[in-house]
Structure 1
Amino acid sequence: MKDYDRSVKLICPLCGNDGFCSVGEEVEDLLNAPGTTKMQCADCKSIYTKDEIIEANSLIIENAKDEMVEEVMKDFDEQLKKALGI
């Protein structure tokens, strides 16, 4: 089966930079960190929670999801046509 994993770079809502570091606590795995984890933009130094960064990037996340769904559906359609001999 094809690998449909995707990575989405989240950007700072203020300056558009994609570099963040945690504030006040050491976070080994940002992906699994709680939504209340405070993150600081490496460029403009703005501080947001992980949840706020995700919310601010909801359009980017939604677009990536839509592209993946489109690709999965296209591949499924091709496999179905092959299986049915169409």
Structure 2
Amino acid sequence: MKSKAKVKLLKALGNERRLLILERLLVHSDLCVADVADGLGISYPAAVKHLQCLERARCIDRKRSGQYVLASLDETAVLLTRAVLAID
């Protein structure tokens, strides 16, 4: 991973709401934008913005399922998220 990609990843993880999204994805595996927004009590556009940031940092993958776009953790992000959440 190049240093710019590492910086992008660390910036994405440096936001409390994005960490909460990653934590929820560990539990639920696939979430649509509305699920993220409702689960965090944020607006739909704010959820989209956070998910886009996580996607650019290669933390999540997005796929279309019917009319929904579902977010899921990238397999590397699963390990990274568990490591970050384990920090006391």
TM norm. shorter chain > 0.5? no
Structure with higher strand content: 2
Structure ranking higher on relative contact order (CA contacts 8 Å, 6+ apart): 2
With the shorter chain as reference, the TM-score category is under 0.3
Structure with higher helix content: 2
